[in-house]
Structure 1
Amino acid sequence: MHDSLRATEADSRLAEVTILVVSYNSGGVLEACLRSVPPAARLVVVDNASSDGSAALATRLAPWAQVIRAPENLGFGRAANLGFAGATTRYGLLLNADTRCTPGMVEALLDAAERYPEAGLLAPRIATPDGGLQFGHLPILERHRRRGTPMPPEGDCCAPYVGGAAMFFPLSAFRAIGGFDPDIFLYYEDDDICMRMRRSGRTLVHVHAARLEHGSGQSSAPSAKVTRGKEWHMGWSRQHMLRKYRGPAVAALQGGLLLAELATRLALCRGDPRRGKWVARLEGTLAALRGRSATAAGIR
């Protein structure tokens, strides 16, 4: 009787969480992710027009889930905004498709949200396949402040950046800052939302008792097209962040320096296998400097 009551209470708490997974050709990892999600939570999958049947796979594996089939690849942040737009729960948990929740992880995040009501964003302890811990990352515009390698925390702690692979929000805080920046297609949308959440007066909390397994970069099946797209958007999004937070003059200066560096590499390293990545990043940087949107070139 008591066990049944506790189970009912646990399910009631989990029902206050919308878990959102963004997929893009994620068929190789999606099953493990969806099977790890506690069924009492509301589950939403936004599929970015995958060509590998990811949307159909999500429907088959989790028939209780809401599967949103985007008509085109929206990118990560915009897909997350779409998925959370109709959420009526108190909390939202955004997961990469190459992650796996461990038992009790979502409950631990809920406990932490109650302990730290000032927190606008919380993230679990993220374990990598080699047994390491993803911690100590700084937002892109603050990395010059680093002095040495930070020690992994032994308990909960505040941090300038959390998540990336998994972000847990009170949805009221998420909506108060406008969600993810819709101008960013891919890369640094997590840095941006962490910076805006902090500027809104909210704290970011690393939750030690909540453990997540992360495949690190396996959300989409690898291909030359995917690699080129990632490098292009890394260049574009870096310039967007510089312009947004440092102003157009600094962005132009930093962008010019990066273009010169990439052009020099291309001139001196003609046989280097990384040339394709350098070209794509140079093109993305140049597009941003010219004022083109992240999707104008059709790099998806």
Structure 2
Amino acid sequence: MAVALQPQLISLSVVSHGQAGLLQHLLDDLLKLPQPERFELILTRNIPEVWPFEIDRLPFSVKVIENSQPKGFGANHNAAFRAAAGDWFCVLNPDVLLPEDPFPELLNSLHQAGAALAAPVVFNSAGNREDSARAFPTLSSLATKALGRDGAVYSSDPQNDGSPDWLAGMFLLFRSADFAKIGGFDEGFYLYYEDVDICARLRKAGFKLVLCSGAKVIHDAQRSSHHNWRYRYWHLASMLRYFLKHWWRLP
């Protein structure tokens, strides 16, 4: 049975992979934001772990999903969406920090642009901007990146919102109705490229994406595929799936 959407509610989907410490920092930041009643938190425990906080003491609704075995990025967030009641659905990594409230600016950008998806500008803890908004990958751009250069990064005006090809999955705010129309994430991607794929499908379906210059968050990328063979395999497999799915068919 479909969950009745609540227009003023933002559903936050956070998946923990044994990341209790990071999750605690994110919750600390959420607790500092005004109007906690505007949030519901859908927490997915992807692997067994003990959380150092009491769910019942949080000032917003919390739904917990317990996985009997680990699932991929898309499968986890799709399951969270099926439990979500908000008119807005936010995919949020546990290693994101919120030094300020990004949601008013993001919602304003969504309204003004008539967009299906918005994301904040992302910085690392050293204050350097991350490449969270990019051009669609091509074989030539991947070759350029392999040579130590990165020509696919989206260059935006820091004073104005922009519309890059795709937005990275550490923080994505969807209009729930549009997330449902597009069918959510493609669960054939276990890890990596789910964000590229859903942005490509949104654009093909005629939806807009917006990078909100007035909303900022902090994130330190783990870059697990750089030093772990299993993550490297998932990265390469997802890259292949993406190109087979979208080759010559990008918007």
Which bin holds the TM-score, normalised by the shorter protein? 0.7 to 0.9
What's 2:214 paired with? 209
In 2, Cα distance between equivalents of 1:167 and 1:90 = 14
Q: Unaligned stretches of 5+ in structure 2?
A: 1-5, 143-149
In 2, Cα distance between equivalents of 1:58 and 1:164 = 27
What's 1:3 paired with? none
Bigger RCO of structures 1 and 2 (CA < 8 A, at least 6 apart): 2
Please state if 1:36 is matched with 2:29.
yes
In 1, Cα distance between equivalents of 2:54 and 2:219 = 19
Please state if 1:128 is matched with 2:124.
yes
- Residue 168 to residue 52, structure 1, CA distance change in 2 (3 Å): same
Letter in 2 for 1:19: L
What's 1:252 paired with? none
What's 1:246 paired with? 247
Letter in 1 for 2:212: V
* Residue correspondences, number: 228
- Identity level (%): 24
Question: Which has more helix, going by share of residues?
Answer: 1
What's 1:84 paired with? 81
Offset from partner CA, 1:281-300 (integer Å, 9 cap, x none): xxxxxxxxxxxxxxxxxxxx
What's 2:12 paired with? 19
Once the two structures are TM-superposed, the CA of residue 199 in structure 1 deviates from its matched residue by 0.6
Are 1:34 and 1:61, in contact at CA under 8 Å, matched by a contact in 2? no
Deviates more, 1:83-92 or 1:31-40: 31-40
What's 2:229 paired with? 228
- Residue 88 to residue 143, structure 1, CA distance change in 2 (3 Å): farther
Question: Which has more strand, going by share of residues?
Answer: 2
Are 2:137 and 2:152, in contact at CA under 8 Å, matched by a contact in 1? no
Q: SS of the counterpart of 1:85?
A: helix
In 1, Cα distance between equivalents of 2:103 and 2:81 = 17
Once the two structures are TM-superposed, the CA of residue 162 in structure 1 deviates from its matched residue by 1.5
In 1, Cα distance between equivalents of 2:122 and 2:152 = 21
TM-score by length of 1: 0.68
CA RMSD of aligned residues (A): 2.9
Based on CA coordinates, which of the two structures has the bigger radius of gyration? Answer: 1
Once the two structures are TM-superposed, the CA of residue 68 in structure 1 deviates from its matched residue by 0.9
Letter in 1 for 2:237: W
- Matches of residues 29-108 of structure 1 in structure 2 within 5 Å? 29-37=22-30, 38=33, 39-40=36-37, 41-48=39-46, 50-54=47-51, 57=53, 59=55, 62=58, 64-108=61-105
Letter in 1 for 2:218: E
Q: Unaligned stretches of 5+ in structure 1?
A: 1-11, 248-300
In 2, Cα distance between equivalents of 1:232 and 1:204 = 29
In 2, Cα distance between equivalents of 1:143 and 1:194 = 20
Offset from partner CA, 1:166-186 (integer Å, 9 cap, x none): 000001111111000011110
Once the two structures are TM-superposed, the CA of residue 207 in structure 1 deviates from its matched residue by 0.4
Indicate which of 141, 153, 171 corresponds to 1:144: 141
In 1, Cα distance between equivalents of 2:122 and 2:196 = 16
Are 2:134 and 2:164, in contact at CA under 8 Å, matched by a contact in 1? no
TM-score by length of 2: 0.80
Letter in 2 for 1:173: D
Once the two structures are TM-superposed, the CA of residue 57 in structure 1 deviates from its matched residue by 4.5
Are 1:93 and 1:166, in contact at CA under 8 Å, matched by a contact in 2? yes
In 2, Cα distance between equivalents of 1:130 and 1:184 = 31
